[in-house]
Amino acid sequence: MSYTIKAHEISTVIRSQIAQYSSEMRVVNVGTVFQVGDGIARIYGLEKAMAGELLEFEDGTVGIALNLETKNVGAVLMGEGLTIQEGTSVVASGKIAQIPVCDDYLGRVVNALAKPMDGKGEIQSSETRLIESPAPGIISRRSVYEPLQTGLVAIDSMIPIGRGQRELIVGDRQTGKTAVAVDTILNQKGKDVICVYVAIGQKASSVAQVVSTLQERGSMDYTIIVAATADTPATLQYLAPYTGASLAEYFMYTGRHTLIIYDDLSKQAQAYREMSLLLRRPPGREAFPGDVFYLHSRLLERAAKLSDALGGGSMTALPIVETQEGDVSAYIPTNVISITDGQIFLSGDIFNSGIRPAINVGISVSRVGSAAQPKAMKKIAGKLKLELAQFAELEAFSQFASDLDQATQKQLARGQRLREILKQAQNSPLSLEDQVSTIYAGTNGYLDELPINQVRDFLVELRKYLVNNKPKYKEILLETQAFSEEAETILKDALTEMLENRA
């Protein structure tokens, strides 16, 4: 059986092939590994690699180009990379490190690459953000003016934090730094603030404890946990804070308020030091590389209160830094203190003397000050800080005096009771109206006649009494955020009635 090929059929096929032809030229930047070990690979031939570009190795491991040298590229591996050998080929992806972002991340625990690690399935997202985004400029911001309540009397009254502020939490290990941060997250319930908790170089059990505390109190619904535990590679511990910041920025740029906690930046600096020394970067003070200040400044500058033109969102940062033996003048603490808008200093001595939270009010400061306080707190808190400062001075002096006059004894008694009202149990933040009633009772002498060991019980009773018998007090403070004469009269009546009942 024979076929005859017709000329017009051939010409039709050729024409359709020509019409469909597209000359797509693809340039792939490929290099070769010539040295690998300790989570670092040196690559020859990647002439056009960008700083921070993602590199793909033959076995699927991903790396980041950090050192761009004349003859080679130094890359850090974001995985074990055990099968990478000398001669393995590497392809430059053409992408700078980025992560997916979306609302579905709320309530999830993810790793430093924003991949879920809580066993609840994948997170589908069509949007991505660069891990290292430029910070908002001067014109994009407005000054901090809205309060961000922590629920801790000592902080909200004397070291207030505002939305968009960066407030450092600094102290020795085991002085309650994480407890302050977790209490702040718990206090954001019902206040339209999305929280991101970044755990860097911590034990997996510590992170699990934070997650269970938030779940028990219904706070995981508005929280994202980014965990780079102690057993993860240094690269991921270095990246985790930037990943957390990118997730928080996504919400900030959609006009929402976010709070991000970096726990803690000392471990990030140590991970960065490890990477830098392996990359043979010259070491500086305490063997940290010269750009360790920039490591933290470019991260913390991303916290901001955006202008109304950009939606008015905010990102409040609470970085945590660990000190050794209370030495605030060490390299990393001084660096971060100079970048932030104030610091909350937690003292080991105060912690061991039974005062929790162990905040050293003398060294702690908020550079935003009363601009970030509700009117009610601004009205009554000034007197508290002054009286506590006078008490601290007087207490030190009175240790050397055998007999004290009546006025001095009264002032010391008042100071001891004021110190007592600042004590707070862990995971029990107080609302604004409860804080105002507590401080008012202390600074106006209503607690002076009570034995010190009964002060905290009396304050618990006072809160219950106000809720049950004087509901108008709470209504006024919630509506106006101000401590009006009417509210003051109601509170005075409640205190007088309670003291009379005790008598």
**Which residues are annotated binding-site positions?**
171-178
367: annotated active-site residue: yes
Distance CA 270, CA 404 (A): 51
As annotated, the binding site for ATP includes 171-178
Q: 322 forms bridges with which residues in the sheet?
A: 171
Residue with tokens 């500086």: 284
Residues with Cβ within 8 Å of residue 455, at least 6 apart in sequence: 417, 420, 421, 447
* SS3 track for 204-233: HHHHHHHHHHHHHCCCHHHEEEEEECCCCC
Element (H, E) at 40: strand 40-44
Q: 205 forms bridges with which residues in the sheet?
A: none
Distance CA 112, CA 239 (A): 6
Q: 162 forms bridges with which residues in the sheet?
A: 147
Distance CA 330, CA 338 (A): 12
Distance CA 143, CA 411 (A): 38
What token pair was written down for 121? Answer: 């399935």
Given the residues 367, 414, 417, 502, select the one marked as catalytic.
Answer: 367
Q: 75 forms bridges with which residues in the sheet?
A: 41, 65
Catalytic (active-site) positions: 367
